[in-house]
Amino acid sequence: MSEDITTVFEETATVISQKEYTDQQFVLTLKAPKSASKVKPGEFAFIDCGENHLLRRPLSYLRNNATEHTVEFMYKIIGSGLEALSKLKTGDQVNLMGPIGNGFNHSNPNKIPVMIGGGIGIPPVLFLAEYLKRSKNNHQPIAFFGSELPFPFHLSRSKIDVAGIDIETNATIDSMENLNIPCRLASLSNFEGCHKGYVTELADQWIQSIKEEDKEKIIIYACGPELMLEATSKLAQSHHVDCKLSLEEYMACAIGGCAGCTVKVHTPEGEAMKRVCVDGPVFDAKNIFPNESD
């Protein structure tokens, strides 16, 4: 079902903070009461980058705080629009539209939610992990994140055991550890405590180590580069588990009017073009990367 655009707000948000990390990575915190009260994991905002930039930029929400009326975004400078966004200081104002899109929908407490995030695709799945852990439905997510750049989060050595993972692979994100969410990190950049390889390898090691009856309960949620998403889809197919992918595409309007963010989707009726902004950004993995043997 497509997003009901009447639930999308336009509001002028105030910059609470803008933290810069290595390699032009930023975490932006805005006071945006309307978004903060309604946003769900997997949804995104369409942010105005200033009068010199005609097109807004889509950014996935990293987290919200409905009590403090704040939302957070993580991004890396790619192009002049996000470079302009990175210049915002505390107290500045920025216009945004959101929350937009059909995000993640995890409502079955009997399912084991597995998060796989890569690079700037980490925010929506990290948001989902924290959201589920704070819910009242006894969800116990597990998270695997990968990046070739230094992670733009506070990291530490995890005290939470993760089955199937080498004990030297012990780096985690503090927000995950503080919520007692098992989490491990991967990178080809040889960061301390990280698996030297692909994030999907970490997830595969864990899945192979658990009981068969638990494997049947797994559902994977992923966001990241296309090659990572394809590898994640193949991982899910190999273990016969459900998988949902959050796609990232350039877009001009974010409300379904321009069809500039369409992707090819495989359905029982055949191939179809779907708009990431309103039909997604979350799609079933088998509809994006169908099993070649089917």
Judge whether residue 54 has pLDDT over 90.
no
Q: How many residues does the structure list for the chain? A: 294
Bond preceding residue 225 cis, omega within 30 of 0: no
pLDDT confidence of 2, banded at 50, 70, 90?
very low
Q: How far apart are CA 216 and CA 265, in angstroms?
A: 25
Judge whether residue 57 has pLDDT over 70.
yes
Q: Does domain 112-248 have CATH number 3.30.479.30?
A: no
pLDDT confidence of 267, banded at 50, 70, 90?
confident
Helices 226-239 + 199-209 axis angle, to 10: 10
Of residues 194 and 248, more confidently modeled: 194
Task: Please give the pLDDT value at position 1.
Answer: 38
pLDDT confidence of 254, banded at 50, 70, 90?
confident
Tokens 């658990």 locate to 210
Task: Please give the pLDDT value at position 139.
Answer: 84
Under a CB-based contact definition with an 8 Å cutoff, are residues 64 and 40 in contact? Answer: no
**271 Cβ contact list (under 8 Å, min separation 6):** 264, 265
CATH superfamily of 5-100: Translation factors (2.40.30.10)
Q: How many CB atoms lie within 10 A of CB 192?
A: 11
The structural domains of the chain, with segments of one domain joined by +, span: 5-100, 112-248
Task: Please give the pLDDT value at position 4.
Answer: 45
For residues 184-213, average pLDDT: 97
φ, ψ dihedrals at 222, nearest 5°: -140, 150
Of 129, 220, 214, the closest CA to residue 180 belongs to 129
